[in-house]
Amino acid sequence: MNPILISLPLSLLAAILIILGDNPSREFRALAGTTRDRSLVRSRLSELGRHTQSDYEEFRYLQILYVGISTLVLLTLFLLRGTSIGVIALLCAVGGGLTYLMMDRNLTSEVKKQRSVIEAEFPAIIEMLTLAISAGESPLTALKRIAENSHGNLSRRFREVISRVHQGIAFHASLDLMGRDLNSPIVRRFIDSLVNAMVRGAPITEVLTRHAQEAREHQRNRILAAAGKAEISMMIPVVFLILPISILFALWPSLTNLNLFAS
């Protein structure tokens, strides 16, 4: 076992720390923030409500950090086992790539989970908004009331809309920005219809009522689809575990008697 090869991971780590200077965390975050966004990480972070450059730098920093840690761990383990350099390089590259993809997939699953939560909250929120506007409140006042008195991801997005309006952004522009951040077709259609109704002076209550019915129908279809998938998944142990055992118990006495007759 070559001691030079064993000390190689620690030497690489020390060299990286020397290059990054006195504050390696800040330097590394700034360096990670300059990477190209080919996998649309910024748009997915925006959908999670993380819009700033520091949020992007933080995600890239953690992604590259975990890749480096996994690569160094694999490098150390395989060097201790005396594996050849070519195999070590290949396995470290595969391990680092899998760690990178796992972080990216985890972000995608987090976005999908929040999108499903928002779409589940959407019908009730829209019905409350319809009732408030039907009672005579303006869309901005009704949205502010719902944002202050309800909890959830969609309510948090409404609070961001109200905050942007207080900063001087037009109400319809703030709503449109929220619709672009949320990659949900049903929410996007609702916001487009609401903005068009406010700009053109159309009756907002009719628009909200129609979209509330559409949201309830969409939620019902989602529940039916989830129930269908659950039914199929419940059939798997029945078909592949319980049914073969039942057939075996039913046929075993007959097979035993046939073997006795044959002997």
- Per-residue pLDDT, 16: 55
More confidently predicted of 6 and 66:
66
The token pair that represents 250 in the structure block: 């039913």
Asked if pLDDT for residue 58 goes beyond 60, the answer is yes
Within this chain, do residues 72 and 45 fall inside the same structural domain, yes or no? Answer: yes
Q: Does a structural domain hold residue 189?
A: yes
Question: Which structural domain range is residue 72 located in?
Answer: 3-112
Asked if pLDDT for residue 134 goes beyond 80, the answer is yes
| Closest to 183 measured CA to CA, from 119, 126, 121, 107 | 119
Within this chain, do residues 96 and 9 fall inside the same structural domain, yes or no? Answer: yes
Lowest-pLDDT range of 28-32, 114-118, 195-199: 28-32
The token pair that represents 197 in the structure block: 């109704």
Within this chain, do residues 96 and 145 fall inside the same structural domain, yes or no? Answer: no
Lowest-pLDDT range of 70-84, 87-101, 148-162, 181-195: 70-84
More confidently predicted of 60 and 51:
60
| Closest to 12 measured CA to CA, from 62, 69, 60 | 69
Residue 263 confidence class, pLDDT cut points 50, 70, 90: low
Q: Classify the C-alpha dihedral 193-198-200-203 as positive or negative.
A: positive
Within this chain, do residues 66 and 145 fall inside the same structural domain, yes or no? Answer: no
Within this chain, do residues 101 and 148 fall inside the same structural domain, yes or no? Answer: no
Q: Does a structural domain hold residue 230?
A: no
Within this chain, do residues 104 and 128 fall inside the same structural domain, yes or no? Answer: no
C-alpha 135/C-alpha 208 separation (Å) is 13
Within this chain, do residues 35 and 133 fall inside the same structural domain, yes or no? Answer: no
Domain containing residue 211: CATH number: 1.20.81.30
Within this chain, do residues 95 and 194 fall inside the same structural domain, yes or no? Answer: no
> Side-chain half-sphere of 79: how many Cα atoms within 13 Å?
17
Rounded to the nearest integer, the mean pLDDT of the chain is 79
- Per-residue pLDDT, 102: 92
C-alpha 184/C-alpha 187 separation (Å) is 5
C-alpha 153/C-alpha 155 separation (Å) is 5
Last residue of a domain, one of 112, 140, 166: 112
Q: Does a structural domain hold residue 251?
A: no
More confidently predicted of 20 and 91:
91
| Closest to 42 measured CA to CA, from 53, 31, 32, 26 | 53
More confidently predicted of 16 and 232:
232
Averaged over 199-224, what is the pLDDT?
81
Averaged over 162-184, what is the pLDDT?
86
More confidently predicted of 226 and 112:
112
Is residue 157 within 8 A of residue 117, CB to CB? The reply is no
Q: What is the 3-state secondary structure (H, E, C) of 196-235?
A: HHHHHCCCHHHHHHHHHHHHHHHHHHHHHHHHHHHHHHHH
Q: Does a structural domain hold residue 239?
A: no
Tens digit of each residue's pLDDT (9 = 90 or more) over 69-100: 888 888 878 777 777 778 888 888 888 889 88
Within this chain, do residues 105 and 161 fall inside the same structural domain, yes or no? Answer: no
C-alpha 106/C-alpha 112 separation (Å) is 10
Within this chain, do residues 102 and 162 fall inside the same structural domain, yes or no? Answer: no
Averaged over 120-149, what is the pLDDT?
86
C-alpha 197/C-alpha 85 separation (Å) is 66
Within this chain, do residues 48 and 120 fall inside the same structural domain, yes or no? Answer: no
Q: Does a structural domain hold residue 181?
A: yes
Asked if pLDDT for residue 184 goes beyond 60, the answer is yes
Helix (H) or strand (E) holding 125: helix 85-134
Averaged over 50-68, what is the pLDDT?
81
Within this chain, do residues 156 and 206 fall inside the same structural domain, yes or no? Answer: yes
Percent of the chain with pLDDT over 70: 84
- Per-residue pLDDT, 204: 82
Asked if pLDDT for residue 35 goes beyond 70, the answer is no
The structural domain count of the chain equals 2
Q: Does a structural domain hold residue 263?
A: no
Q: Does a structural domain hold residue 90?
A: yes
- Per-residue pLDDT, 24: 53
The token pair that represents 232 in the structure block: 């199929």
- Per-residue pLDDT, 29: 62
Q: Does a structural domain hold residue 18?
A: yes
